[in-house]
Structure 1
Amino acid sequence: LQFVKIYWKTLIIIIWPLVLIPVLITYDSPEMRCGIVILLMAMFWVTEALPMGITSLIPLVLFPALNVLSSQETCICYMNDTIMVFFGGLVVAIAIENSKLHMRIALGVMKFVGCSHRRLLAGLLVVTTLLGMWISNSACTALMVPIIFTVLQELEKEGLTKVFIVKENSDDPENDKRPSKITKAYLLATAYSATFGGTTTLVGTGTNLTFKGIFETFFPRYDGISFTRWMIFGTPQAIVQIFITYLYMLTIYMGLFRPNSKDAQEARIGIEGQYIANRVIEEKYNSLGKMSWHEHAVSFLFFLCALLWFFRKPGFIMGWSDLIDNTTIKDSAPVLLIVILMFVVPKEPRFLNAFHKDANKRPITSSEGLITWKMIESKMPWSLMFLLGSGFAISKGSNTSCLAKKVGQLLIPLKNYPPILVLFLTLLFISSITEFTSNIGIANIVLPVIAQMSVSIKIDPLYLMIPSTIICSYAFRLPFGTPPNAIVTMAGHIPVTNLMFTGCGSTIYSLIVLIIMFPTYGVYIYKISGFPDWANPEMDPIKNMHC
């Protein structure tokens, strides 16, 4: 048992391939070879027997070796338009963090909304969602947690609230402390809003970009997943989710609809408490000083990037990319232009004093750019790029080997059920399994199957794939479901039972919102009506002949 406890990961790495090899030998076919690679990776992803980034490199070895895809075809999956959008979006996010612009935005919004618990919670939800749209969910949560604790600790000094509750006569007060209900409300609201914010834009989370790459691999005749259209659906959907989350947190932890309850009384901090909270936020905001050239430059380039994305091909008017003939420009071009400009534009405008009359004011050295390669090297999650690439390789391998088609054909009986019931069952299944492993890993495995299932049962693939992509991110019940969950659980000493209890409610209402909004509003935005020609394999002679 001690041996197994120490070497269980090594045992999985050795034993699991040995289990799969006899299956491969017995049922040798292109689709089985592709399926074996997917099963091998799925086990390693779920157990993390190997680091996720390393597991993601397995297709580069096994697909060519098993004659699923050539090395050239597999390598292209790891460096394409979607990967470049992911890279560029992260560089912009790193630049925002480095300039402290996100801190100014967070404190500015909280200063504006006021300082009762209910107003602070509302401001926290809004600002975390806004930041989650553009920077990683984990970075967004990590930013907000210290701000929350600073405000709560100042209120605690005045006897107006409790941050933690420690058991009486505890031998280990540090480990035995538990967060008060007010603290839980702030921390869990932060984690949930960072997750909801990540689903509003294509670059908000890697899961969205995984969908974009897989979808465009399966359905190359579609016009392409537009940043604008995704945002037009994703933003209202997230707003509804955030509003329900606000009411949910107030109801569970702050006594909404129970004005005489203990929770409601603890949530009232009075005029004095509001003054203290406002003072703390004001002091932190003032400590940032005036907005610097660095912040101005980063914010200008950030908004320019957002505008270029939004108006590349908005659909309701002619986009700027339509003005360029005989070529296709995708979302990677504008964000990489901004990345290049961030290396060109200086962090400090020293050059303005290059010919100053006072020699002491002339610059001695040039300024570094708004971002440096050293920052990118230290903060870029390179393993996520490999994870995205592996998803696109799995998608292409499933398509080329006809595995996805055969799996989809097994699900043909679902065509006898109403589309909304198929959507509900699909989302219910994904929302359960996404709690146990990486959201991107789950998306890599299930989206190719859903794509082919949609073709088999003659449903527009967008109808099932977009809600499925979004629900992959909605893992609220376990600490390892998403990085925000892990951060607030550790920082706030939140018991897993509390996380699961609150997360169950969030999972239920987030699923209901998607089930209601996509078949109504989403269908209108994406112009879904019937089974489209671009998804029909009979209209694609090359694919039809291949499989």
Structure 2
Amino acid sequence: MEPREAALTEEETLTRREKLILTLRFLKIYWKILFAVTWALILIPPLLVYNYKETRCAYAILMMAGYWITECFPMAVTSLIPVVLFPAFGVLSTADTCGCYVNDTIMVFIGGLVLAIAIEHSNLHLRIALGVMRTVGCTHGKLLGGLCAVTAFISMWVSNTAATAMMVPIIFAVLNELEQAGYCRVYDELPVPPGSLDPPEKRPTRITTAYLLAAAYCSTFGGTGTLVGTGTNLTFKGIFESIFPHSEGINFTQWMIASLPQMIVNTFLTWFYLRVAYLGYLRPHSKDAEIADIGVEGEMVTNQVIEQRYKELGSIKFHEGAVAGLFLTCIFLWLFRKPGFVTGWAEVITDIDLRDSVPVIFVSIMMFFIPKDFNFLRTWSKDPAKRPFKSSEGLITWDVIQRKMPWSLMFLLGGGFAISRGSMASGLAKKIGETLVPLRYLPAFLIMLIVCFFIGTITEFTSNVGIANITLPVIAQMCVAMEMHPMYLMVPATISCSFSFRLPVGTPPNAIITVVGNMPTQSLMIGGCVPSIYGLIINCINFVTWGMFIHNIKEFPAWATSGYTPP
């Protein structure tokens, strides 16, 4: 080959390499929009071949599922797809579709978040957390138990994200003080390769890992204890009441009474598991046990840290007391709206259907009526310096709500309700449910285990609410096709949607401890295997023994059939 031809070949090769690099860079930068377009086109051929109402609905749902899983668009934007496609495809009218985005469940969600934001705004959550932790004691075992209990309790009323984010700084404050006193290490430094100028990489010690996992796992378990504790519970409420409008619906009291036992047991098992696996409990001669034993002096240091943090809060302010009072009022109104064992207040004041959104929105409005202090009483003070120059703020302000309210989740819930109603109206959910009828020959408890295991696995990879939106309508129709009470599978499946313990993408608490604590994904995956197992078992056992009794599940109800008319 001549030198000139060799030079051209080399130049051509370099050009191809450069093109390949540029192409890969292009795909890396624009993969989201490329996937969005490609996924929508891939789904079109089956729609053209089988142009029925069910397939048109399936097209919209599969498109949303792909976008939700990959997050090629913001999840809230993906949730608005039914507003366009369902009316255009003749699945639902515009009025029916848009009605899914503002209903009782959405109002409960908004009111519950306003209440949670007010608790955080007043610092009431910190007082509760520090108060419990200084009460239980200051050994690692006791502190871990207090952390588990208070995180689970707070997560019953606020999002698991907020509960975890609140507890992590407290954890590091205590551990840092112990480290300075020489009683533990917060991080281990990995060895640096010879000749490397990079600083040593830090990894959390086993003690730190135990505390971080406790915060993440207990916030997840705690959220299952009430309807407002997590978005998946509210998703279930909306979907169930949409598919079965003639049922009695899901009320706050029933859910809480039925779910509290599994929440408490799972929280206790989490504490026990983390103590055994990371703090050397029941292994007195292990290295973990030696490191976790801080002695009497270590307890004193820890106690001083918590006492100091608590004193910094000062005495209980009117702001905290008023928010606590409204919080307890809301719980009381929820519990006794229509409890079943006594005549509820809602049954006394009206004959119309009054749902859980009424108490929480009432409390939310009252937070704007009640001032957070009594400065207005100093208007006539003899001292001009004490006279107020502006009106007192309420217990919560709209600016605070705007900054902290996750508005996108409202659209995510609404999109799920639209999927539910669309799949019902088109007959898609019924057809999918009928294909699963052969499962009826298996024992009912085994069917429950299979469904919960499947959901608990796939929820590790994408949004819990997104999984609930996609799977619950199908599970409902599967129960109808098998003539099984819908709640028998839907309630355990809903709780399983929250049980994401092994991957950072599964739920925000996992992501928080991974990023803030610099925790390797491998550590999270290893630690999360055991909670996934006992969470599944306790969830199913609790429902078939206690939950069925509370929800009064005896036989296949008449209201679950499509031809049922209310008496």
**Both proteins in one fold, TM over 0.5:** yes
Letter in 2 for 1:195: T
1:479 is aligned, of 500, 504, 512, to 504
1:63 is aligned, of 83, 86, 100, to 86
Give the number of the structure whose alpha-carbon radius of gyration is greater.
Answer: 2
- Cα distance change, pair 339–166 in 1 and its aligned pair in 2 (3 A): same
Partner of 2:520: 495
Partner of 2:38: 15
1:195 aligns to 2:220 (yes or no):
yes
Sequence identity of aligned pairs in percent? 56
Letter in 2 for 1:14: V
Residue 535 of structure 1 and its aligned partner are, at CA, apart by: 1.1
Partner of 1:340: 365
1:411 is aligned, of 436, 444, 457, to 436
Letter in 2 for 1:211: F
Post-superposition CA distance 1:77-99 (Å, at most 9, x none): 00000000000000111111111
Residue 351 of structure 1 and its aligned partner are, at CA, apart by: 2.3
Partner of 1:466: 491
**Superposed counterparts of 1:247-262, under 5 Å:** 247-262=272-287
Partner of 2:146: 123
**Superposed counterparts of 1:431-442, under 5 Å:** 431-442=456-467
1:226 is aligned, of 231, 251, 258, to 251
Post-superposition CA distance 1:77-129 (Å, at most 9, x none): 00000000000000111111111110111100001111000000000001101
Alpha-carbon separation, structure 2, partners of 1:136 and 1:528: 29
Secondary structure at 1:178 match in 2: strand
| TM-score normalised by L of structure 1 | 0.97
- Cα distance change, pair 273–357 in 1 and its aligned pair in 2 (3 A): same
Alpha-carbon separation, structure 2, partners of 1:262 and 1:416: 51
**Superposed counterparts of 1:257-406, under 5 Å:** 257-406=282-431
Alpha-carbon separation, structure 2, partners of 1:11 and 1:132: 38
Alpha-carbon separation, structure 2, partners of 1:327 and 1:458: 30
Asked if the contact 2:132–2:146 (Cα under 8 Å) also holds between the matched residues in 1, the reply is: yes
Secondary structure at 1:467 match in 2: helix
- Cα distance change, pair 344–175 in 1 and its aligned pair in 2 (3 A): farther
Post-superposition CA distance 1:439-497 (Å, at most 9, x none): 00000000000000000011111110001000000000101111000001111111111
Residue 169 of structure 1 and its aligned partner are, at CA, apart by: 3.6
Post-superposition CA distance 1:46-81 (Å, at most 9, x none): 000100000000000110111111110000000000
Asked if the contact 2:192–2:199 (Cα under 8 Å) also holds between the matched residues in 1, the reply is: no
Secondary structure at 1:119 match in 2: helix
Alpha-carbon separation, structure 2, partners of 1:361 and 1:35: 66
Gaps of 5+ in 2: 1-23
Alpha-carbon separation, structure 1, partners of 2:31 and 2:384: 67
Residue 355 of structure 1 and its aligned partner are, at CA, apart by: 3.6
Asked if the contact 2:122–2:319 (Cα under 8 Å) also holds between the matched residues in 1, the reply is: yes
1:108 is aligned, of 111, 119, 131, to 131
Residue 324 of structure 1 and its aligned partner are, at CA, apart by: 2.3
Asked if the contact 2:235–2:465 (Cα under 8 Å) also holds between the matched residues in 1, the reply is: yes
1:87 aligns to 2:110 (yes or no):
yes
Secondary structure at 1:351 match in 2: helix
Asked if the contact 1:167–1:173 (Cα under 8 Å) also holds between the matched residues in 2, the reply is: no
Alpha-carbon separation, structure 1, partners of 2:284 and 2:489: 42
Secondary structure at 1:539 match in 2: coil
Letter in 2 for 1:245: T
Asked if the contact 2:499–2:535 (Cα under 8 Å) also holds between the matched residues in 1, the reply is: yes
Alpha-carbon separation, structure 2, partners of 1:356 and 1:78: 50
Partner of 1:180: 205
Asked if the contact 1:166–1:173 (Cα under 8 Å) also holds between the matched residues in 2, the reply is: no
1:210 is aligned, of 224, 235, 240, to 235
Alpha-carbon separation, structure 1, partners of 2:323 and 2:62: 43
Partner of 1:544: none
Letter in 2 for 1:237: Q
- Cα distance change, pair 173–197 in 1 and its aligned pair in 2 (3 A): farther
Secondary structure at 2:91 match in 1: coil
Secondary structure at 1:436 match in 2: coil
Alpha-carbon separation, structure 1, partners of 2:565 and 2:524: 48
- Cα distance change, pair 172–94 in 1 and its aligned pair in 2 (3 A): farther
Asked if the contact 1:31–1:401 (Cα under 8 Å) also holds between the matched residues in 2, the reply is: yes
CA RMSD, Structure 1 to Structure 2 (Å): 1.4
Alpha-carbon separation, structure 2, partners of 1:514 and 1:169: 45
Partner of 2:554: 529
Secondary structure at 1:165 match in 2: strand
| Count of aligned residue pairs for this structure pair | 542
Alpha-carbon separation, structure 2, partners of 1:355 and 1:344: 22
Alpha-carbon separation, structure 2, partners of 1:201 and 1:217: 20
1:158 is aligned, of 181, 192, 206, to 181
Letter in 1 for 2:292: A
Alpha-carbon separation, structure 1, partners of 2:350 and 2:253: 21
Asked if the contact 2:190–2:200 (Cα under 8 Å) also holds between the matched residues in 1, the reply is: no
Asked if the contact 2:192–2:200 (Cα under 8 Å) also holds between the matched residues in 1, the reply is: no
Asked if the contact 1:477–1:504 (Cα under 8 Å) also holds between the matched residues in 2, the reply is: yes
1:4 aligns to 2:27 (yes or no):
yes
Alpha-carbon separation, structure 2, partners of 1:175 and 1:305: 51
Residue 179 of structure 1 and its aligned partner are, at CA, apart by: 0.8
Alpha-carbon separation, structure 2, partners of 1:137 and 1:172: 39
Partner of 1:446: 471
- Cα distance change, pair 288–430 in 1 and its aligned pair in 2 (3 A): same
Partner of 1:545: none
Alpha-carbon separation, structure 2, partners of 1:392 and 1:463: 20
Asked if the contact 1:187–1:488 (Cα under 8 Å) also holds between the matched residues in 2, the reply is: yes
Alpha-carbon separation, structure 2, partners of 1:22 and 1:376: 45
Secondary structure at 2:43 match in 1: helix
Asked if the contact 2:57–2:426 (Cα under 8 Å) also holds between the matched residues in 1, the reply is: yes
Letter in 2 for 1:148: I
Secondary structure at 1:537 match in 2: coil
Letter in 2 for 1:140: A
Alpha-carbon separation, structure 1, partners of 2:186 and 2:147: 17
Letter in 1 for 2:95: Q
Residue 357 of structure 1 and its aligned partner are, at CA, apart by: 4.9
